[in-house]
Amino acid sequence: MSIVLLLLLFAQFDPDPRFSLAILREQQQARNDLVNAILSNNYALARTALDKRADPNGTIVLIQSESELLRSLSPRMYHYYSNGADFRPLHLAAGLGEGDICQLLIGRGAKQFAESKGYDWVPAQFAARVGYPDLARTLLGLDPKDDHYKIEISLPYQKLTVYRDGVPFVVARISTGRDDKPTPPGNYLVTDKIKLERSTLYKVRMPYFLRLSFSEVGIHYGVNPGHPASHGCIRVGSEEKAQKIFECCPIGTLVRIQ
């Protein structure tokens, strides 16, 4: 049944003036404007849609043209949507890296830690997974000024460097993913710290584990044969250095792999 027909039925049988045809049309237009604003990163249009009472917490069901536009903008966000993630506006804006619109939505009542159905992820998780770690830090409520440590990982040189206030603090030799299970380059942030993690898939211990952007990939102490040999994680060959990295880098530490 089309949306227009539903609106007509509501208008015919519900005497409540809040559900008049004109009001329902205005609500639908406000919803369309908000979705279009997010898909085009149009802050002014998003503000106008919210002024017209677009729901900042309503579930978004994309029509075909919107779905196709999302696929062109972000294949990963399209993958999440088409595989069962029920987005709210903040989930969608976060996954598209739209920091200003995210702050606007939060200011208008969007729930910062609302989970999406299907994946059960909060907005920060979409931002982190798609490659917007700075936005993820903000959505997690972390203070952007508390940013003393950063981690740089060089895949060609198999080297990890921890910077403290811009100065190298720890340098370690590492072993990253082998050719058939490469460590994916990109921008991440530390989202979990687990002193003794254990891989459920490979049944191995991973001491001093720093999880990257809610993913299966992390930094941990492990065997370093002098070349890429892991299943995707970053193995630090020195237990002493792995422990030092684990202890000094807080959740929210930005990590660049290149």
The full set of domain ranges for the chain reads 3-131, 149-257
CA–CA distance, 196 with 121 (Å, rounded to integer): 24
Task: Answer whether CATH 1.25.40.20 is correct for domain 3-131.
Answer: yes
Amino acid of residue 23: I
Round the average pLDDT of the chain to a whole number and report it: 92
Pairing mode, strands 254-257 and 186-198: antiparallel
pLDDT in the model for residue 150: 97
* Span 142-191, pLDDT tens digits: 987 778 999 999 999 999 999 999 999 999 999 999 999 999 999 999 99
* Span 61-106, pLDDT tens digits: 999 999 999 999 999 999 999 998 899 999 999 999 999 999 999 9
Assigned CATH class of 149-257: mainly beta
Instruction: Give this prediction's pTM.
Output: 0.84
Domains 3-131 and 149-257 share a fold: no
Please work out, in degrees rounded to the nearest 5, the angle formed at the alpha carbon of residue 246 by the alpha carbons of 242 and 252: 140
